[in-house]
Every structure is written in structure tokens, then in C-alpha cells.
Structure 1
Amino acid sequence: MRLRLLLLLAVCGAAAGAAVRTLSLRGRWRIRSGNGSLELPGDVPGCVHTALLQQNLIQDPYYRFNDLNYRWISLDNWTYSKEFKIPFDISKWQKVNLIFEGVDTVTKVLLNDVTIGETDNMFKRYSFDVTSVVRDVNSIELRFQSPVLYAAQQSKAHTRYEVPPDCPPVVQKGECHVNFIRKEQCSFGWDWGPSFPTQGIWKDVRVEAYNFCQLNYFTFSPIYDARAQEWNLEIESSFDVVSSKPVYGHVMVALPKLQTQQTQGIELQPGERVVELFVKINKNISVETWWPHGHGNQTGYNMTILFELEEGLSIEKSAKVYFRTVELIEEPIKGSPGLSFYFKINGLPIFLKGSNWIPADSFQDRVTSDLLRLLLQSAVDANMNTLRVWGGGVYEQDKFYELCDELGIMVWQDFMFACALYPAGQGFVDSVREEVAYQVRRLKSHPSIITWSGNNENEAALMMNWYGIHISDLPTYINDYVTLYVKNIREIVLTADKTRPFITSSPTNGAESVAEGWVSHNPYDKHFGDVHFYDYISDCWNWKIFPKARFVSEYGYQSWPSFSTLEKISSEEDWSYGSRFSLHRQHHADGNTEMLLQAGLHFKLPQSKDPLRSFKDTIYLTQVMQAQCVKTQTEFYRRSRSQVVQGEGHTMGALYWQLNDIWQAPSWASLEYGGKWKMLHYFARHFFAPLLPVGFENQDVFFIYGVSDLRSDCNVTLTVRLHTWSSLEPLCSRRTRRLVMKAGKATLLYEEPVPRLLKTCGKCTRQRCVVSFHLSAAGQLLSPTNYHFLSSLKEAVGLHKAHITAVISQRGDTFVFDLETSAVAPFVWLDVGSIPGRFSDNGFLMTGKTRTVLFYPWKPTSKSELERSFQVTSLTDIY
């Protein structure tokens, strides 16, 4: 009995004669410190830190230096306890389970003073049989062990050989041995986040009582039979049969809109039993597939599953089913060594454009559905179609993946291993196996997830010898690597999910790494797989420093968040770039210096003698630098999709590091903590546009490529304008004849030597002029207006101080900002402080006298509030 489909799980439903009774233990618990000196109420789901904060026993953990001040919280052993009454006659139920959807992390669990089990993995679901222990009135207790002390103990007990790294770099101010605990890895500190090793019950907890049998879960996957050209559904259901004899019945699966219904008899033997069903979708009905954002609709179909069993037991479940196929294409490329590396969705090659996702908060109970929607909608609004859920965080909550399904965001899903070697002892591996099996079962029904990846950067860490391993010890660590990611994780994934590819690591050489025994001598080979690339010293305006790789899954530059974001968690003495606070908040070695070095290559650094003004100007300039650097790099990758030069190119993915922030600090993010857009995010909305003209120079020749993500060819006109820094009127404007841009390609549209362009447009010079260009058809703009700087802006001649004014009006729920400038203004930045919302455009080059920009508030606000908060900055203000 088999069946295949695509969404999520469930627990038992209602029935004649009550199939199952459930008591949620969410809500208020008691929390006690290790020596009993501190006792307080706390919410479940939740953690000790947020409980202490809610009772005003600590300040905001993110305030100033509190990540260090509150280290004592994670070093203590806390206890959660609760008394509860069962609101039904417990004696009438054959089986009673206590279920934890998530415990963070190491505990001993007691019910009525009887130890019923232990937990040691944040990413597993735990179910304890408490039938013989539960009473009408109960006391439950979870005795937590400090994750920091537990990790140290586990590391110390691993005596045969070291498993590096022992500790994070000192600049990260973190805790040691995080690779020895199955917990959110970045909670021990990272180069963009604080160290807050939390303790608590972070997901749902409940008591379930049942007779006869119980549906533990169901999950499903759609399988496309290419030969028969038809869809099938594979459904897996798990039952716990407590009856002493077999249970008989039937199951009916229905998808009304697809006119598909199938009924099948089932027989359940006593014990844990898995029922697999195979349903053929009506071949006469056209199935609409799920498409990524920008490529089609996210069509789903309602499905119901009804189990009719003996004893009048009826269990009904419903889910939304999405149909899509995904293939990872690794095949020879004409005229190039190596292999391609790109994804096909429903048979269509798609360029993956987006970013990397990290946990949205150090305290998961603060990550609400509204916050997830805000952040994910911001990704879609910036024309992204992909997010990589990075392997040092958490497997995200169900709502995250539901939103990705709904919004058309493809998810590259890492397993939670990052930047470390890991022990491969039997106990550790067994825990990981249970973790992976559970997470794949929980998540595989989501169409948004297009690939599983075993870890973040661990193949590179091993083979590039990040940790100074002696060559004679390398086989031991390679064996551990293969044991964990190949013989265990890969084996489980491929058995449980046949609908999407598995990649052992990121970066990896893909098929080449496999051929080399699962680890490649050079995991950064540009002819295979994906690469990560960071270079903060070389000039980011020089596109030749970037790798012309098959796929780039990490790259980026840091910037500081806005002053309005920092102001909430700092004091006046902190408001300078060289303050103790600014150094403390920077967790990347020399990061603050590197930002100024990169900015100083092309911009004059702030000169104000007012410390606060200088700090705000420096924040602004780091955001300008970050946005321009990532723009240059991303546009290089997008135009490289159709090119193979000296064996390199055919680039089919650009995921910059990183989308979101975990706290208020300098980082690589384009969204600040809480969701405010940095300049980079506004730039991303342009450089990820479906149609984009990309300009660059090579050997004094200026080229413009047209990049298309569209599914059909289109006719366009390219307009190229030359502007002087000293005038609000363009020096000259040229329009090409009608050009054809090929679907899914990068097409050369324009080529001219720079000296000739400057001469024929009015004898301009590089330092005095800037080029802008856009695509149109029938007078309608088809692309963002892009630009190309002919010289560094610190060498620009003719730039005058721009006085920019704004008249604000309201149009429904949207606000209109009518801008007027006295001079050409580069990188115009509109800011309304802490008023939540985003502009239609920001950080732009203002070459005309007027411009209209819209503001979309995320919460109700008023024209007067906006007028009070509004500030505008351009590059000319800091010069």
C-alpha cells in the first residue's frame, strides 16, 4: 500500500466515542534557578531569558553589553515545573503520552517525581509513555543542565582525539564546544550574533490519551512519472495500535478539484505501524504546478484523508498539496571543463536569486508569524526567489515554510551543522539520525524546499585545513565526515524523500566531490558546484576579483544598521564609531576597519567634527559601500549566466550573505533587526529585477548586457544617458533600435569605447560624468534605471551640495513623498526613523530636479508623524 504527495503532518482527529483526548501544557510554568534562590513564572513555549525579561528581573538582553552581563543565565542549571489536572477520567484510556515538540536542550524529565526520560537534542520531537505514571492531578518537572557545561563535558569525554574548533574566535565573545551539543549552533556566538545559549521548552507540549489506536503523523510527496506523464501521490501514515488484535478498516483520499478519489482497505497490526498509500491523480485533469516567485503561480489543492476503522473510530485530516518537480543539473558544458550546477523547476532552468536566512532572534519565542511574514514578504518585494536556511541556526517553524510555499520562495535547506568538525560516536550519530528522520518527515511536503544540504562549510573546513589538523590525522576526520553526512544523513534523506536532491555540503563540488570520495581537494573549484566568496580588501568595484563560478551561495560585505535601530539598545556615550560599544558589537575581526578601508577606496570619509553627526554619516557610508559592492558582484553573476570564458561561467545562482539580522549590530544583512530595509535591500530590488540592464567596463570599453529571467523573448529599446555631476539636465541621450532579449539569457545590447562615448556626448571627462541606462518598450519602462560610475566618487568633479526637500501627502494607506533637489545627488537616503514601513525606492541617484517616492507603512501612522521623523541624506551631505 503506497501513496505520494506534498505537505505537512498531523495528530489524531475526532471520532465517534472520542478517539483521542489532548491536554495542552502551554502557558504558565514555574522556573527555578539551580540553587533555588530565584523562582519566577515563565511562559511555554519560551526560555529562561525571556521569562526573566518579562518579570523585569533583567534588562533587554540586547541592550549595550548585556550579552556579557547575562552570561550567568546560561551557566546555571534551571528547572521548569508545573502542576496540572487531567480534565477527563484518565483510567478509561489505554495509552497516555507526554509529547514535547521541542526542548532546548539537555534535561531530565520527571512526572510525579518519576524520571520518564531525558532530552539532549533541540531539533527532535520527544514522546514519553506515561500511562503507568500519570494521575488525575500531576506534577511535571524538567531539570535543565547548562548547555555550556554539558558541551564542555561531552568534549572532555571525547578522549580519543580532539574535534575542533574548541572555541570561537575571541572577537565573537562566545562559548566553547558547541559542536558537541545538538543545539542552535549560533547560540554560542557567531561573527554576526551574540552568545545566548538558551534553556527552555521552545515548542508545544501536551498530554495525549487514546484507546485502540492513534495516528502519530502523516506526510506526503508528489511524484511525477515522466514516462507516463502523470502525477502520483505517496502518503505515509504512522499509527500506534494499542489494541491486542489487528485493527481493520479503510482509508479514503480525496482531492476534489482534481476529481481524484481513492479508497483502500487497511490492516493495522498491534504496535507502531506505518501505512503507505499510492494514489494516481486523475490523468484527465490538468494539474497546475507550483512555481517560484516570478515564474508562475503557487497553486495548491485541498486534500482530505479519512481513516474509517473498527470500533467506530474515524480520523480525518486535511492538507494543501502542491505539485512541482525539482532537478539539480550537473552535466558537461560545451567548451568548458567541469560540470554545470543549476536547478530545474518543473523542467525549467531557473536562476536562483536571493539571500541566506539566519534565526530572526536569539530567543525563538519572540519570532512571531507576523515577523516571519514581514521578513519573507520583504524578500519577495526585493525580487528574490530563494533563501538558503543556513546550517548554524534552527530548522524553522512550520509557519516559515508555509509562508515560503505561499510566496513562492525556494528554500535551500541546510541540516544544522556549521563551520566545525563533529564527533561521530554512536550516541551522537544515533541522535542525529532521529533528528534528520523527524525533520525530513516534518518538512518534505513543502514545495518550497528544493534541496537538502548536509552542512555549512564543513567540507571546506576539513579540506582547506581551517583548524591546523596534522596530515597524518586527516583520514580520521574524513572518516567521521563521511560517517555523519553520507552514511547516515544522506542515507536517511534519500530513503525518506525521493522528490529533491541532496548535497553533502555548501560549498561543495557536487558530483566531483562525490567522485573524490565525498570530499574534494579544492571545494572552491569554480568549475563545479557552489562556492562561498569573501574579499574585504580588494576593490569591490573591480568585477574581475569575483569568481566566475557555476553557483555562488554566499558572498557579501558588512554595514552598520541605522541609527534609529541602534539608538534603542545604546546610550549617548556609545554613539561614535570608535566607542567601546561599537567595538563590542562588531564580532568580525577588524570588521569596522575593513568597512572604512573599502568605503575609502571610492568615497571621502566623513569629516564632521560633531561626534554624533560623524557617527551617523559613517553608518550611512557603510550602507552605501555595502549596497554598491553587493550590487557590482551580483550583477556580475547575473550577466555570467550565459557566458563561459576560459572554462568559467554559466553562473546560475547568486545568494548573498545575509538577509536578516539576529540583533542590532554591524553585519552582512540587508534587513535590520526587526525588518527595516538597509540600502542594500533597496538595491537588491533593482539588481534582482526580472529584466535588468547591467553595465561594466573591460579594457576601456563600456558594455551593457540585458539579463532576462522571463520565460519568453522580449523586444526592448535601450536608452543610454550621460549626465554631468554639475547639471540636472542630461548631457546627451541615445536610444537603440529595437533589440531582442532572449528568455532566460544574458544578451549583449551595447558596446562602445569609453573615450568615444565621452567625446561624442559633449567632451565630458570620467570625473565629471556618470552613465545611466534603462530598458523600455512602447514608451513603458521595463527595467530599473541602472547606472555606471566612470570614476570614484571621491574624484567626482562638479558635485555640489544638494538641498533636497520633500512634500508629503497621503493616498489611501500609502504616503507620497514629492522630492525636489537643487543639484545632482548620489545615494539619496530617505529615513523616517523608527516608523515601520518601506519606501518604493531608496538610496537612488537623483539626476533630475524632481522625483516621487511612495512610503508603505507596516503599521498605522500619520502625515504629521512622518514629517516629524523624516530626514534625507545624500553623499553630498557628508562631503
Structure 2
Amino acid sequence: MSSLRSSKVLKQGWSFRQADGPANWLSVDSVPTVAHLDLIKHNVIPDPYIDMNELDVEWVGEKTWHYRVDLPEIPVSAKEKGSKVVLVFEGLDTFAHVRLNGKTILLTDNMFISHRVDITDLVSDNNQLEIAFEPALLKAREIRAQHPEHKWVGFNADLSRLAVRKAQYHWGWDWGPVLMTAGPWRPVHLEMYTARVKEVRVDYHVADGFKSAQGTISVDTEGSAGDNVTVNLKLAGQSVFEETLTITDGKAVASFTIPDVSLWYPSGYGAQTIYTINTTVKAAGHELDHHTQSIGFRRVELVQEKDDIGRSFYFRINGADVFCGGSDWIPADSFLPAISEERYRRWLKLMVDGNQVMVRVWGGGIYEDDTFYNACDELGLLVWQDFMFGCGNYPTFPSFLDSVQKEAVQNVRRLRHHPCMAIWAGNNEDYQVQEQEGLEYNFDEKLPECWLQTNFPARYIYEKLLPDVMSQECPDVPYHPGSPWGDGKLTSDPTVGDMHQWNVWHGTQEKHQIFETLGGRFNSEFGMEAFPNIQTIEAFVTKKSHMYPQSHTLDFHNKADGHERRIATYMVENFRVATELEKYIHLTQLVQADALMYAYRGWRRQWGQKRQCGGALVWQINDCWPGTSWAVVDYFLRKKAAYYALARVLAPIAIGVQREHHDWSVAHARPAKASHFHLWAVNSKMEPTNATVCLRFVSIETGSDIKPAITKEVSLVPNGTTDVLDGVIDNMAEEPHVLAANLSVDGDIICRDVDWPQPYKYLSFTGREVEVRQPCHGEVGVIQVSAKRPVKGLMFEERDGVTISDNAIDLIPGDEQVLKVIGLSGTSPALKYQYLDQ
């Protein structure tokens, strides 16, 4: 009788050693792992995240590392005719020579590819698996030297990285360290079976009325023992479709219809309904394998239609237009096995809690762990997925293309059942490299073979190889050749495609107050740096003498070129700069929060009814190590001020008030005689909402209203922008004042916005006082805050284990704000806080 497939994860019992080091083998806590983690555990190297230890561990990436493990005993039944014994390697980083009992069974050169190796005829009574990982850094340089015909150009790090299919950020980036990892970075399994479910593919169509779905479920099996397969589609444990099919040549296909389908929607637009497909292979009534896979039914469209601007670029999910406010995602650690499932979920829930609806998986990292996409499905977070190419001119020699083909097919197949998948893009900024380096690109040339003959051959990957894979493997998800890219036009063209807007911070270093004027049809990268919170700095700086803003260690933990000048520029232009570290941190976070607020607020307003801007993804949500970067949440998941600013701007209903920008530096600090201002509201709900809007004009000096407030009753346009009021400020006759707007629904204020005269450095904040009434200590409490004069950037400390509903807020006299707090126990001290010019 054939037995049920078994799969054992080879997690424990491993050991490792340096190939040219001591002969003794050291223990490994568990696999997945990489050499750095095991060396840290044995105190062979210091933690590279602390101080400047990164420099002391560079040698690790230049060595060969061996890992070995004894396989479990192979039962007699696994050696019977028709049975198979297979080793499964989900991910080996990167150049791996795999031996079983001294015999080579696998050679790898791509960390993004998984491998299945049939060892049925190789196993004996005692079996030892050994893997030698050669240094990708040195191998990459060898491969580059073998291809002098290629033009090796790009942004960031050693450009030999372009020759190797390894996470590109491991070579170092402008936000991360150089840590060249090696090891079994994803699980290793030992499988035994006579038949197994090889793959389950679902192709479906959601009907035009969005009430039903129909399609096919295709099952590929392996092994000769199975004769039928049962497919059962369930929702909340209840079967909605079931059929038993005969297996023919390893394949079986079932057609299905769900007349009252429950669709999957992104967060805020509907339910995140997940169905389950249970697939069982049997022979003579005996179960041989069981496979479970989730799926959500939805229709995703990338709307690119000609309009009076150029061509639109926005997403429509199940017929609903969605403004995709969100973030770009880099790997959450330089040591990938260190990212736990719980940590993934915390990151992604944090995004959804902050009213973000899309995350972009950046092309210099990895195709993320299944946990990542499962959480996005459950939370309703749309995924923009880059293929793993970033900031370079990639080669196209035959073995490279073969590897890329396998990589693309495997990962598209692995991820295609996730309803969160909204788009795949061919690369990150490779077309910008083409433009900057003057590489050949004739958009009108449509013969792929010709592209391979140019000095930009990677076009073949992005415009031929990858779209072919998508059309064959995942035709229902849009494909976009690159990010940014726009139908062959310049990547900076604001009328078409998506855009990376780096003329704030990089480039021409524009004032962040005009961010909204710099955008395109979809803004998939933009950003502003800020220091992390003081607790994070204390975690990686061990010398008290280095606890000042421009210390050697703090500079070392900021990898951005010219970051000193850029931070200084935006600080000096806007604030009276402090030198004490905690105040300096606060100011950098206020700059970041303001910059990103101007961007998101303006671009969401442009969503309007004409969809001038389809979305905004900030660079970046997270860090891969503790340091200063563009992240709005630092490595330890401590939120910066910008996180809260974005959450307010991206709320389902948000109000905006803004006076026109007066460039004080160009005007030689001469004030504008008058300033026009605009007041509007945005609403992502699908129905009109009746609201009351109030605009106050509050003196910065005294806190008094300098003229009567304006109150209007409005009906907010569904899924769009409602213009409420335009006005003019007479700067010669009126004292400096803030424009304080709020919006009420059924008498409750649900959103606020405050517009300040710019720059803050010209304003006097003397005499500010904030009244803070902290909660009665308990699991859930409130903080009540108020002020008699306008206060900028009241920021409570980010304490681990404590969640606060809002932070980094502006206070207006007469408008007490109540913040909810979770996790502040009775024995905890009150939260510390600071505000501008405290």
C-alpha cells in the first residue's frame, strides 16, 4: 500500500565551519540561517549593527562556508518501487555546492530559485548532507571579468553585483550596510512519497456585475501511484465546490462557478475574503498527498487611458478606483532568516493601521517570504511587486537569461494565487540608468533580437522575457516594464507612467513645500531622511562620546551620499537648528513629516475626479538595520513623526488647508504681500458624506482668533476631492497666524489640518506651554492635550509595548485633542514628550 507523503523540515542538527579556517565544526541553532548569524552566536564576530562593527566583519563575505547535517533515518517503505526520496532546498545563498555522502547532487548560482533533488538511488543507511557556499562577492567579480563586452554601469555598490542573482542590497546601498551573506537562507526539507501535488493553478474571471466568478482549477501531480484527485473549494469551512477528477499524464482540470462569490477587497474598500482550496491525491481510496492553498477572488485593473494630461495610471479593484497611498518596502533585515513571522505581520499591520493601502516590494531585495504575502492578503494590503533587478545595466549572456527565466517562472507561480498582488514591474530604476548613461534605447525598434545587440540588452528581459512569463503564468495581473517607466518616454515625464521624484533631497533639492507640484501620474518613490528615535540610537551607539548629531558613528549609520549636506540644507532652511541630540532628532523628524505631508496631501488632492495622480508610495517604510535613512519607521518598528502625518493625510476622510508657497530664499527673505490659500476635503468612501468644515485664523503670538471663523456645510464627493474654500491672506495687515481647519461628521471632529507660515525659523515660539493629562494607568487609556497658543509637532516618546493613536500633532487653542493609549501599565512612568522650541 502506498503511503502518505511525508515532509520533514531539516531545522536542527546542523553544524558549520569556515573552509580555510579551524577544522572543528561549530553548532548551528537552526536552519534557515546565514554564516554571520552563526558566527555572532559563537562570538567569532561582533554584532555588525552596533557601532562601526560592520567594518570588522567584511572578511566573512570573502570566505567559503560549509554547512552539514545528518539526514533522518530513511524508512524501508521509502525504498520500495515507485517511492521517491527528495531533498527540497527553498533557497540557497547563493553559490552552493551540495553533496550527499560526498557525491555532488546540486550546484546553484541563484538565491531566488528553489531546488528539488531526487536522492532515491543515493541514500544509504547513514546519510550526510554537506553544502559549501562560495563567496558571491568574489564569484561576481570573476563573472564580470569574463564579460568585458558588457557595459557594467549603474547606481550603488560594487557593480559586479549585476552579474549575480543575489539580493542586490547585500552589496550595500544608500540606506544599508555591506553584509555579503551565505548559507541555507530558506528551509531545507526531506520528502518521501509515491505521489504528490506538484502545483495548483486557478484561472478565473469575475463577472461584470461582480456577483459571480467562474474558472478552472488545474492540478499537476508527480508520481505514478495516484489515480484521482479531489478538489474542494471552501469558504469559512463550508464547501462551495467539490469534484473528483481522474489524473491523466499527471494532470487534472476542474471547471467551477461561484454564483454568489464573496470578493477580496483592499483595506477600507470591503472585506478581505479568503477561500481555501484543498487538493487530495488518492489511489484505491487511500490518501497519498494533501495540499492546501488560499485564494481570493478579485478583478485588478491598471487603468491607463488617454486624458487631457497624457495617460492615466491608477488601479481599479472590483470596479472601484483606489488611490494607492502607501510605502516602498526593502528587506526588513540584512540577515533575512532573522525576520520572524511575527515581525512581518507587525510591519504590515502597522501600514494598514496607518491607512496605507499598497506596499511596493523593491527590486533590489528579494521575492518576499510567503508570510509576507499571506499577511497582505489578510490585511487588505495591495502589493506592487518588482522583479529583482535594481539600479543597473544587467547582462544577458545565455546562462544568465536561463537563470532569470527559471527565477521568474518559479516566483510568479509561487505568488500568483495571492489576491493582494496588484502589479508586477520589471525592475527598479534600470531605465533611469539607461538614460543617465546614454545607453541605446530606440522605443520604436520592436524586434527583441535587436535589443540584445545594443549596450542596453536588459531591455530584452523587461520587455520580452518577463512579460512572456506573466502572460503565460499570471495573465490576470498587470505587468509594467519598470519603475519608473512610461511608454518609452523619459522616466521623469509627469504625464504618463509612474515616477520616482527625487528632486526633493537628491537632484535639484527643491523646497519640500512644493512637493505636490513635482509629481506625476503615480509617484512610486520620493522621500526625506530623518534620524531614528533616541532609543534606537542608544541601541547601536555604545560610546557616550559619540552621542551627538554629527558623530562618526552616527554618520557611519547613514549610508546616503552627501547626507550631511542634505539634512543640513533642509534643517537650516526651515528651523532654528538645535545641537542637543534629542532636539536635533525631533527637528529632523519634523522636516520629514512636513515634507511627506506636503507630498501626500497634495497628490491625494490631485486624485480628484480626473485621477491626475493615482497613488503615492514613500521611500521607504522600513529599515534593514538601525540607522538614519528615509524610513518612516525605524529598524525596531519605532514610528517616526512622519508615520503619523501620513496616517492623517491618508485617512478615509481628510481635510487639507494650504497657503501658496512663497520661496523666501529666492525672494531674499522678503515677505509676500498677500498669500492665496485653499481649503478642500478628500473622501475615499463610495458614497457622499455630509460634513461640517470649520476654518479658524489663529494668532501664533497670542493664540487668539484674529478674525471670525468660517463654517460651511458640505457634501463630500464620493471617492474624490471636494473644494471647499479659496481665500487671501493680507500679510501686510494681518499678524502671523495659522490656518486651522477641522471637519466634523454628526458633530464629532474626525480630522484636522494646520497650515503654518513658512519657514518656522522666522516665527517666535516663546512662551509655549502644553497641558498634558496622562491616562489613569491601565491597559487602555487616554492622553488629553491642549495649549493656549499654537504648538507645532507635539511628539510623545515611542516606548516599546505602548501604542498611541496619534502623535507628532499640532495644537490649536480651544481644540483639546484626546489620544488613545494602549499598553501603559500602572507602574510605568508617564510618556515623555517634546514640541518645537520647547
The TM-score normalised by the length of structure 1 is 0.87
How far did 1:53 drift? 1.4
Amino acid corresponding to residue 550 of structure 1 in structure 2: R
- SS in structure 1 opposite 2:837? helix
Mapped pair 1:442 → 2:396:
no
Matched, 1:679 2:641: yes
Larger deviation, residues 226-235 vs 659-668: 226-235
Q: Residue 478 and residue 692 in structure 1: after superposition, are their counterparts in 2 closer, same or farther (change >3 A)? A: farther
Residues 1:177 and 1:264: Cα distance change in structure 2 (over 3 Å):
same
Q: Name the SS of the counterpart of 1:387 in structure 2.
A: strand
Determine the structure 1 residue equivalent to 2:43.
56
Distance in 2 (alpha carbons) for counterparts of 1:801 and 1:605: 19
1:848 aligns with 2:836: no
Q: What secondary structure sits across from 1:434 in the alignment?
A: helix
Give the structure 2 partner of residue 41 of structure 1: 27
SS of the equivalent of 1:754 reads strand
Equivalent-residue separation in structure 2 for 1:831 and 1:600 (angstroms):
24
Aligned to 2:388: 416
Matched residue SS, 2:297: coil
Deviations 1:481-523 (CA, angstroms, capped at 9, x unpaired): 23212221110111111221111101111xxx2xxxxxx2412
CA distance in 1, matches of 2:151, 2:71: 45
CA apart distance, 1:385: 0.6
1:772 aligns to 2:740 (yes or no): yes
Shift of 1:779: 1.1
1:74 touches 1:198 (CA, 8 Å); kept in 2?
Answer: yes
Structure 2 residue aligned with 1:695: 657
Are positions 1:599 and 2:561 aligned together?
A: no
> Deviation of residue 237 (structure 1)?
2.3
Query: 2:666 — aligned with what?
Result: none
Written as runs of structure 1 = structure 2, the 5 A alignment for 1:649-728 is 650-698=612-660, 700-728=675-703
How far off its partner does 1:354 sit? 0.6
One-letter amino acid of the counterpart of residue 12, structure 2:
G
2:419 & 2:591 partners in 1: Cα distance? 36
2:555 matches 1:624: no
Structure 2: state its 5+ residue gaps: 444-449, 661-673
Q: Which amino acid aligns with 1:64?
A: D
Q: How far is 1:816 from its partner?
A: 3.0
Q: In structure 2, do the counterparts of structure 1 residues 538 and 30 end up closer, same or farther at CA, with 3 Å as the change threshold?
A: closer
Quote how far apart the aligned CAs of 1:82 are.
1.3
1:308 is matched with: 282
SS at match of 2:828: helix
The residue number in structure 2 matching 1:508 is: 485
Supply the distance in 2 between the matched residues of 1:222 and 1:26 (Cα, whole angstroms): 37
For the residues of structure 2 that align with 1:262 and 1:603, how far apart are their CA atoms?
66
CA contact (8 A) 1:825 1:876 kept: no
Shift of 1:477: 4.3
**AA paired with 1:27?**
Q
After superposition, the Cα gap between the structure-2 partners of 1:714 and 1:809, relative to the gap in structure 1 and judged at 3 Å, is closer
The reply to whether residue 126 of structure 1 matches residue 108 of structure 2 is no
- Counterpart in the other structure of 2:669: none
Once the two structures are superposed, residues 781-832 of structure 1 have per-residue CA deviations (whole angstroms, 9 ceiling, x without a partner) of 23x21011123211114x2243446443346422433446575321111115
CA–CA distance in 2 between the matches of 1:752 and 1:807? 36
Instruction: Confirm or deny that 1:873 pairs with 2:834.
Output: yes
The one-letter code sitting in structure 2 at the alignment partner of 1:215 is V
Name the SS of the counterpart of 1:339 in structure 2. Answer: coil
Question: Equivalent residue for 2:68?
Answer: 81
Taking a change above 3 Å as real, the CA distance of residues 866 and 466 of structure 1, as seen in their structure-2 partners, is: farther
Residue 540 (structure 1) shift: 3.1
Alignment partners' CA distance in 1, 2:439 and 2:54 = 27
Map 1:341-490 onto structure 2 (within 5 A): 341-465=313-437, 476-477=453-454, 480-490=457-467
Using a 3 Å threshold, how does the CA distance of structure 1 residues 308 and 579 change in structure 2: closer, same or farther?
same
- Residues in 2 aligned to 1:340 and 1:545: alpha-carbon distance in whole angstroms: 17
User: Is the contact between residue 808 and residue 863 of structure 1 (CA under 8 Å) also seen in structure 2?
Assistant: no
Partner of 2:490: 522
Q: Match for residue 640 of structure 1?
A: 606
Equivalent residue in structure 2 for 1:320, among 291, 294, 299: 294
Q: How does 1:331-346 map to 2 (within 5 A)?
A: 331-333=305-307, 335-336=308-309, 338-346=310-318
TM-score with structure 2 setting the length: 0.92
**Change over 3 Å in CA distance of 1:476–1:585 after alignment to 2:** farther
Number of residue-to-residue matches in the alignment: 809
Q: Distance in 1 between matches of 2:438 and 2:560?
A: 16
Which residue, 232, 241, 260 being the options, matches 1:253? Answer: 232
Which residues in structure 2 correspond to 1:819-834 (within 5 Å)? 819=785, 821=787, 823-832=789-798, 834=799
Pick the aligned partner of 2:14 from 29, 41, 49: 29
Between 297-306 and 744-753, the greater mean CA deviation after superposition: 297-306
The two structures, once aligned, show a CA RMSD in angstroms of: 2.6
Residue 315 of structure 1 and its aligned partner are, at CA, apart by: 3.3
**What amino acid sits opposite 1:138 in the alignment?**
N
- Tell me which amino acid in the other structure corresponds to 1:625: V
- Mapped to 1, the partners of 2:415 and 2:439 lie a distance apart of 34
Whether the aligned pair in 1 keeps the contact of 2:32 and 2:185 (CA below 8 Å) is yes
Matched residue SS, 1:712: coil
- Preserved CA contact (<8 Å) 2:376 2:382: yes
The residue number in structure 2 matching 1:13 is none
State the alpha-carbon separation in 2 of the partners of residues 481 and 714 from structure 1.
49
CA shift at 1:176, angstroms?
4.5
Partner of residue 168 from structure 2, selected from 185, 200, 218: 185
CA distance in 2, matches of 1:547, 1:855: 37
Alpha-carbon distance in 2 for matches of 1:372, 1:650: 33
Q: Say which of 96, 105, 108 aligns to 1:116.
A: 105
1:71 to 16, 37, 58: 58
Cα distance in 1, alignment partners of residues 452 and 191 from structure 2: 48
The aligned amino acid for 1:796 is L
For the pair 1:561 / 2:561, whether they are aligned, the reply is: no
Within 5 Å, which residues of 2 pair with 1:91-240? 91-92=79-80, 94-165=83-154, 174-211=157-194, 213-226=195-208, 230-240=212-222
The separation in 2 between residues aligned to 1:159 and 1:484, in whole angstroms, is 20
Deviation larger for 558-567 or 32-41: 32-41
Counterparts of 1:369 and 1:378, CA distance in 2: 14
Shift of 1:662: 1.1
8 Å CA contact retained: 1:539, 1:598: no
Aligned to 2:663: none
What is the correspondence of 1:240-279 to structure 2 with a 5 Å cutoff?
240-242=222-224, 248-255=227-234, 260-269=240-249, 273-279=250-256
Percent sequence identity over matched residues? 25
1:836 pairs, out of 801, 807, 819, with 801
CA contact (8 A) 1:722 1:732 kept: yes
Asked if the contact 1:293–1:385 (Cα under 8 Å) also holds between the matched residues in 2, the reply is yes
How far apart are 1:27 and its partner, in Å? 1.9
Q: Which has the higher contact order (CA 8 A, sep 6+)?
A: 1
Classify 1:384/1:78 alpha carbon distance in 2 versus 1 (closer, same or farther; 3 Å).
same
Deviates more, 1:551-560 or 1:569-578: 569-578
Residue identity in the other structure for 1:650: Q
SS in 1 for 2:783: strand
The reply on whether 1:20 has 2:8 as its aligned counterpart is no
Shift of 1:184: 0.8
- Superposed CA deviations along residues 688-742 of structure 1, whole A, max 9, x for unmatched, are 1111122223482111121111111112211001112233454455243321211
In structure 2, relative to structure 1, the CA distance for the partners of 1:822 and 1:788 (3 Å cut) is closer
Conserved 8 A contact 1:548-1:640? no
Alpha-carbon distance, 1:203 to partner:
1.2
Measure the CA separation in 2 of the matches of 1:199 and 1:687: 42
Contact 1:557-1:629 within 8 A present in 2 as well: yes
Tell whether the 8 Å contact from 2:227 to 2:281 is kept in structure 1 after alignment: no
CA contact (8 A) 1:106 1:118 kept: yes
CA distance in 1, matches of 2:555, 2:462: 37
State the distance in 2 between where 1:751 and 1:497 align. Answer: 48
Deviation (angstroms), 1:178: 1.0
CA drift at 1:21: 2.9
Asked if the contact 2:621–2:632 (Cα under 8 Å) also holds between the matched residues in 1, the reply is: yes
